[in-house]
Amino acid sequence: MSRLNVKTPSKAQAIVDQMYRNMEHRIAASPPGLCPVDMALNFLSMCQAQTCGKCVPCRIGLEQLNEMLQEILEGEPDPSILVRIEETAQVIVNTADCAIGIDAAQLVLMGLKGFKDDYEEHVYHHRCLGSLKNPVPCVALCPAGVDIPGYIALVHEGRCADAVRLIRKDNPFPSACAYICEHPCEARCRRNMVDDPLNIRGLKRYAVDHAGNVPQPKCAKPTGRSIAVVGGGPGGLSAAYFLTLMGHKVTVFERHKKLGGMMRYGIPNYRLPRTVLDEEIESILSLGIEVHTNVNIGTDVTFDELKRTYDCLYLSIGAQTDKKTGIEGEDAEGVISAVEMLRSIGDDEPIDFTGNQIVVIGGGNVAMDVTRSAIRLGASKVTCVYRRRQEDMTALAEEVEGAIAEGAEVSSLEAPVRIETNEEGRAVALWTQPQIIGEIDRTTGRPKPDVADVPERRIPADIIIIAVGQGIHSASFEQGGVKIQRGGAFLAESNTQLPYLEGVFAGGDCVTGPATVIRAIAAGKAAAANIDEYLGFHHEITTDVQLPAPVFKDLRARGRINISERDAMERKGDFECIECGYTDEEAFKESGRCLRCDHFGFGNFRGGRVEKW
């Protein structure tokens, strides 16, 4: 008789594992607008099934919470039920023996605070707010509200010029976004439930690469109104674009000698080719937008002068000043900011790093940009120092992987302590304190680093680059009456208006803090619509592009087609674009994976697409 048996997966276990994978896919594809109370109940039920049931708080308490949430969704509960849910959940948090029960109860508590309106709507009116606001996932998650299913359908038909026209209805920078957008639209793609999300940015890249020269739409007849846009970045130029289409006269004031903002001075050529950016800006300016570069507000022209001269102002100055770490030696020679370095590249005056050891402090996309740029500028060694784990970096995973492939070293769990200098006051090394990962920060979802019980580490360096964030140059605007929040951001409402200054609007990074290009574009779009209304008009932005009818011939699960890149050893020697773009075959296959949620399901039930705004 055998004492032990070799464990092999059974057929039943294989099916259970597949169920887990399917569940993960469906959770990943949960679109915005689903009923959060229903989601909380389902998550609670799953947690309840995973508990061992030994302690009373889990065994009894979670069951009681489950029953009360079901009562809210299906019955006509007494309003006091919300108090009972909160009290029960808090008892479980305080008394449960393990994290499974505690986390489940904390989720309920977070929901009571985070979507209180949804709970009250169920309790008092017996209906769900979520079902009234259930949009097409990719469109809802695009800050600019671009008609993504529409242009993917056009790409599938080979109508790339029409795809660009459709994108421009909501976003005047289809080419720039095709190269560098962080594609938040892919996060809840419903294709996730089948296999993987669509490569939306890749399909946009194919569209702009194959569209040829697409003329801009005609402008409305002149209104006689004038608007000054301060800032020639993506947000300012987007506002100028839409306002010009509406018939207003727009003048853009830019601090630097070239337009583009952080698209030029914050994103290297290997990610966004300057020829692509310049062509797109020229296309926008062809509408008749007036531009003044090398203009400093406060010295060359005052804020009050602009207010007196123009009917409206839109402030979109971005976040283009550097932030400090506060460590000893930061002002030494040989220590530069990421903003300074990237600006020199944007002005075609790059710093020569030949033979130097470079240390970069930071873990975001900007840190990756300067890391990869330093390699291209001839550095003998580049080390990126970050105080958390590599997987906790805020940079896109593909950017981190790309930097490593090109030869960069990522030194994680290292907190900068001080910069060592020589007798001449020049930086020669960065000292760091190794960290150990600790408790999860419930605000960010990332574990906090704690000081490890090991000695400090010395990292030799010829040049140290600080890439820990950007600030906002707001002094001259504060003198003009703009209210400044903590951190330097302008105080503006969600409609971009400054209610305390008549006719003044603001949006983008100068309001939200450093964000993404597509968010700045979205702010410019919103500002244009609201400035138009403020001036007493109601112009509509539309397009006459007709979309093809959806046709499904192959619904089988298939893999996502990713964009290929040039070989790392080749691309790290120059600033040419690293991505290769889709072939015709790849674009056809990938666009064919779209489920056309704009036509089926949510899109159809909720009124279809937004054809004008």
Domains of the chain: 34-132 (1.20.1440.230), 137-211+545-605 (1.10.1060), 226-320+471-534 (3.50.50.60), 324-468 (3.50.50.60)
* Per-residue pLDDT, 607: 44
> With contact defined as beta carbons under 8 Å apart, do 9 and 16 qualify?
no
> With contact defined as beta carbons under 8 Å apart, do 44 and 65 qualify?
yes
Q: How many CB atoms lie within 10 A of CB 589?
A: 16
Exposure class string for 373-391: b at 16+ Cβ within 10 A, else e: bbbbbebebbbbbbbbebe
Q: What is the mean pLDDT of each run of 10 residues along the chain (613 residues)?
A: 76 77 72 76 82 83 88 84 90 86 86 84 78 72 93 95 96 96 90 90 97 94 96 96 97 94 92 96 96 92 92 92 89 93 90 95 94 96 95 92 96 95 94 93 83 95 93 82 86 90 92 92 96 94 90 79 93 94 95 86 53 76
* Per-residue pLDDT, 554: 66
Hunting for tokens 């306002």 — which residue is that?
243
Q: Rg of the Cα trace of the chain?
A: 27
> With contact defined as beta carbons under 8 Å apart, do 319 and 249 qualify?
no
> With contact defined as beta carbons under 8 Å apart, do 338 and 465 qualify?
yes
Q: How far apart are CA 562 and CA 586, in angstroms?
A: 9
Helices (H), 246-383: 262-265, 274-285, 303-309, 338-346, 365-376
Q: Which of 403, 322, 405 is nearest to 363 (CA)?
A: 403
This prediction's pTM = 0.86
* Per-residue pLDDT, 606: 47
* Per-residue pLDDT, 32: 66
* Per-residue pLDDT, 133: 54
Q: Which residues contact 202 (CB under 8 A, 6 or more apart)?
A: 561, 562, 563, 581, 582, 587, 590
Which pair of structure tokens corresponds to residue 519? 């968010």
> With contact defined as beta carbons under 8 Å apart, do 318 and 261 qualify?
yes
| Burial grade of 14 (CB within 10 A; 0-12, 13-18, 19 or more) | exposed
> With contact defined as beta carbons under 8 Å apart, do 395 and 370 qualify?
no
* Per-residue pLDDT, 290: 96
